[in-house]
Amino acid sequence: MKLTLLGTGDSGQVPVYNCRCAACERARRDPACRRGPACASIEHRGERWLLDAGLMDLAERFPPGSFKGFLQTHYHADHAQGLLHLRWGRDCRLPVLGPADPQGFADLYKHPGILDFSRTLTPFEPLRLMGLDVTPVPLRHSRPTLGYVFSDGGRHWAYLTDTAGLPGDTFEFLKRLSLELMVLDCSFAPQAHAPRGHNDLTRALEIIDGLAVGKAVLTHIGHEFDAWLTANQQALPAEVLVGADGAVFR
Amino acid sequence: MKLTLLGTGDSGQVPVYNCRCAACERARRDPACRRGPACASIEHRGERWLLDAGLMDLAERFPPGSFKGFLQTHYHADHAQGLLHLRWGRDCRLPVLGPADPQGFADLYKHPGILDFSRTLTPFEPLRLMGLDVTPVPLRHSRPTLGYVFSDGGRHWAYLTDTAGLPGDTFEFLKRLSLELMVLDCSFAPQAHAPRGHNDLTRALEIIDGLAVGKAVLTHIGHEFDAWLTANQQALPAEVLVGADGAVFR
Ligand SMILES: [Mn+2]
Ligand SMILES: [Mn+2]
Ligand SMILES: [Mn+2]
Ligand SMILES: [Mn+2]
Ligand SMILES: [Zn+2]
Ligand SMILES: [Zn+2]
């Protein structure tokens, strides 16, 4: 299994338009510190699926034949906007597997073009992709949202964004698996109260600790959390990494 | 007055994903032949407004302070998708002036961020921007759509996309002005029957001829029309140009 993080920012990305905070200024100076909208890829046995479609240059990055389709966590703009252009492609068909969400994003259902939204996923019902078991797990967000667990027999990896905490059944399911790798929504620096829709670092560390994950990678990182991290690098336990656009895990 | 075409493609852009037609293959070889989604800029007296927001890299192209706001023709994805990210900017306010459209695009009205959609425009009621009279004129499209006429006293320029033909009152209004420059939707090569939503070349030339325009520039060009044009360059009268991304008119 090979997981590549392609966009580790939140909806505002890093840099945020017109923001002068330390993280946004650094990202303007150093493109390696930029954070694009939500997207990742999972590869196994020479096949690739994309996780979310937040990036707007998917047509350039992933020419036809280079991937099989999308595993969509949910239909917020920062996860689905890359589909707006791609749908008008020719002579191919791209399945978009994801949660049952009657609304979807913008007019994608009305004018799907080459995208095939016909198959919605049932929580905890695994599908077989790339020779892996892929299990959708419910997350806690402002609209129907699924995380994905990839299992190659021995190892289990999870991609979990966007979420604030985890539903009880998802937590129990993940705990039994003993995850080797977990990519987890952590949008905010530690907050006095649990934020809605996304984890802050306090809640993310609670989940990581509770699940006894081998390695955790934070994603969906907001610019303020990014700035906070530069001043608080010691805040993270050894098994917790901050995701970066382009980071690869094998 | 200075008008710059920034995106002259239709919703599929050129190249279309996975398309092997002559226009799409040429655009892959030569970036100058690419056509991005709808966007243009109008400048006068050191100020700039953007016409539509189809481009997805507006934050990089137009840093804060480099433009005053958007004149939106309508809220289809290929004209509004660039607002999805920009809205999360900080410490500034960007007016988006456009037609009254209760739906708008995606969740932009629900979560406008720095965008101000509060002012909708009334057809034929001019506003004063950049020292110009800017007159919104109704177009004929699948949702509420406005073209814009820019007048500096002596000269009159019009930006008219998306439209199939022109409503009678718009046609009469434009005819009285004797347009010096008209940017016009021409998405398709000549068709046996008038297409819906957009002009083909036959209908575009009828409008140009009927209005006795000084110079007409075709935009919103589909890849099939683009391919047709390379084989039919003599099809255009001398006063009709094919728009290109980056083309400037003064
Ligand atoms: Mn979300
Ligand atoms: Mn998100
Ligand atoms: Mn359009
Ligand atoms: Mn349109
Ligand atoms: Zn910032
Ligand atoms: Zn083509």
Domain edges within chain B: 2-249
Find, in chain A, the residue whose alpha carbon is nearest to that of B92: A18
Interface contact flag, B85 A37, Cβ < 8 Å: yes
A28 and chain B: CB distance < 8 Å anywhere?
A: no
Cα of B12 vs centre of ligand 2, distance in Å, is 25
Q: How high does pLDDT run on average in chain A? A: 97
Omega before residue A95 within 30° of 0, cis? no
B133-172 residue pLDDT tens: 999 999 999 999 999 999 998 999 999 999 999 999 999 9
B185-237 residue pLDDT tens: 999 999 999 999 999 999 999 999 999 999 999 999 999 999 999 999 888 99
Q: Indicate the CATH number of B2-249 among 3.30.1330.60, 2.40.50.140, 3.40.50.300, 3.60.15.10.
A: 3.60.15.10
Find, in chain B, the residue whose alpha carbon is nearest to that of A114: B17
Find, in chain A, the residue whose alpha carbon is nearest to that of B12: A88
Chosen from B70, B81, B88 to mutate, greatest number of chain A CBs within 10 A: B88
Q: Shortest CB distance from B91 goes to which of A18, A59, A78? A: A18
- Give residue A28's pLDDT band: very low, low, confident or very high (50, 70, 90): very high
pLDDT recorded at residue A19: 98
Average confidence (pLDDT) over B58-77: 97
A11-20 residue pLDDT tens: 999 999 999 9
Instruction: Kindly provide the ipTM of the predicted complex, given to two decimals.
Output: 0.95
pLDDT recorded at residue B210: 98
DSSP code for B122: P
Nearest 5°: the CA angle A164, A143, B74 is 125
pLDDT recorded at residue A232: 94
CB atoms within 10 A of CB B142: 12
Interface contact flag, B16 A88, Cβ < 8 Å: yes
Residues of A in contact with B79 (CB under 8 A): none
pTM given for the model: 0.96
A165-218 residue pLDDT tens: 999 999 999 999 999 999 999 999 999 999 999 999 999 999 999 999 999 999
pLDDT recorded at residue A227: 97
Contact between residue B5 and residue B250 where contact means Cβ atoms under 8 Å apart? no
Contact between residue B157 and residue B181 where contact means Cβ atoms under 8 Å apart? yes
* Longest pairwise C-alpha distance within chain A: 52
For residue A126, give the nearest of A151, A156, A99 by alpha carbon: A151
A108 to chain B, closest Cα gap in Å: 10
CA B221 to chain centre: 11
The ligand placed nearest to the CA atom of residue A221 is 2
Q: CA separation (Å) from B174 to A74, B29, B157, B249?
A: 46, 39, 10, 19
